[in-house]
Structure 1
């Protein structure tokens, strides 16, 4: 009798395993300090992009299983905002004005940038909503004292044009080996030591009304802009190798007809 083999892979689990190397171990230099042994090595970062990715994935799962209201209650900060075509809108007010077609059916981060101290992080990934629209998103996460990571800012931008629909799936026969897609997530942590005299890059001059925020340790900064023509932009900078480097510069073009 022919054997049928089906291999199923859990994208979230594999993604978090891929991030395992991003969170630095604590055993070496930290252990030296606890035991009183001197060490000339710098302290490891405490930024944990794996935990941010887990929160991002859990938020998407909660939207699918529990509904958006419950998901927002559990994963959005009290002052969270959504950056839509009209500008910044309080998350709950934005949610109240949406129809059923906008709800997420899938959301998966591809990159997470974290400050050295782990107090601020930004995730960037792809989404699919209930109306079949696909696009990219940027979400800012803050570490809350009692509730872990909560998102404070979210921007979704649909692809324009939309990609062609996938071909119809063919039912596999009993000899087919099925391997599901495995998503990987890249995690990056800012340096903990700042070069002498270094400062955050200035906000670029534009016709927008920008806002910005930095992590508590000053190792990661992000800013949003909303142009007069409706174009939305998010820029993320962080400290790497003693200098400020741009991690992300994402722009969402104005909605058609705006």
Structure 2
């Protein structure tokens, strides 16, 4: 049997809600720190969206929340890439929800796209990590467009402070290609990609025939696109 998607394995945990952030007094300790630039990026708005996502998961069910906060074109891995809304349709809710916490946030200069990475914990003691990509539909309104992750032998070390990094703004020499719009809507397949409206944050994934995969995120820093995150997931051992 194919294993479930791996932050979806947590929630079966996808989408990125901040149960820890929503819990209470620890909120102040985990507010993101970042140096704002000249753009309109606001990582705190993305964190707020995640808190709302978590609240919905607790109050309405985790799959209901995943569906409600997913973009129409959102992709998850089960382990093959699938349209999230199709996979979630009619999905039975688990007896107990997964918990997860964001540790890092990356955001484009214009705030139209963000990426979050963090840890998840299942009620049975299984732990892992997730990476979720969020896209802004309108100001302050984010929906996730890609969710993935994997189980880990040991839990991720929780940072003292949720960290956030904002891309440099476009406009310098050689930025012409960065501001081109990537309007292609890639079907869920073995390859996928996306970018922010200003081109300062991009992502790509590739899935092999055995369902191993990688995800890479790049953002503009010091005048060049720099890879800031790479996640590699091994082929599932329990394939049919």
Fold conserved between structures, TM > 0.5:
yes
**Residue 119 (structure 2) pairs with residue 114 (structure 1):** no
What secondary structure is seen at the aligned counterpart in 2 of 1:56? helix
Q: 1:217 aligns to what?
A: 198
Cα shift at 1:183: 5.3
Note the alpha carbon deviations across 1:115-136, whole angstroms, 9 max, x for none: 0000011111111134432111
2:167 to 173, 177, 190: 190
Q: How many residues align?
A: 204
Normalised by the size of structure 2, how large is the TM-score?
0.74
Secondary structure of the corresponding residue to residue 173 of structure 2: coil
* Map of 2:30 onto structure 1: 15
Distance 1:92 1:102 in 2: 21
Q: Does the Cα contact within 8 Å between 2:62 and 2:93 map onto a contact in 1?
A: no
Give the structure with higher Rg (CA).
1
For residues 169 and 73 of structure 2, the distance between their equivalents in structure 1, rounded to whole angstroms, comes to 28
Structure 1's consecutive aligned runs of 4 or more residues displaced over 3 angstroms after TM superposition are 96-104
Paired residues of 1:212 and 1:222 also in contact (CA < 8 A): yes
TM-score by length of 1: 0.69
Q: Which residue of 1 aligns with 2:87?
A: 94
Q: Which runs of 5+ in 2 are unaligned?
A: 1-22, 179-188
CA RMSD of aligned residues (A): 2.8
Query: 1:96 deviation in Å?
Result: 4.3
1:45-92 deviation digits (Å, cap 9, x = unpaired)? 21111211222233233212321243134322222221221x221223
Task: Report the alpha carbon displacement of residue 209 of structure 1 after superposing the two structures with TM.
Answer: 3.1
Structure 1 portions without partners, runs of 5+: 1-7, 25-42, 165-180, 201-207
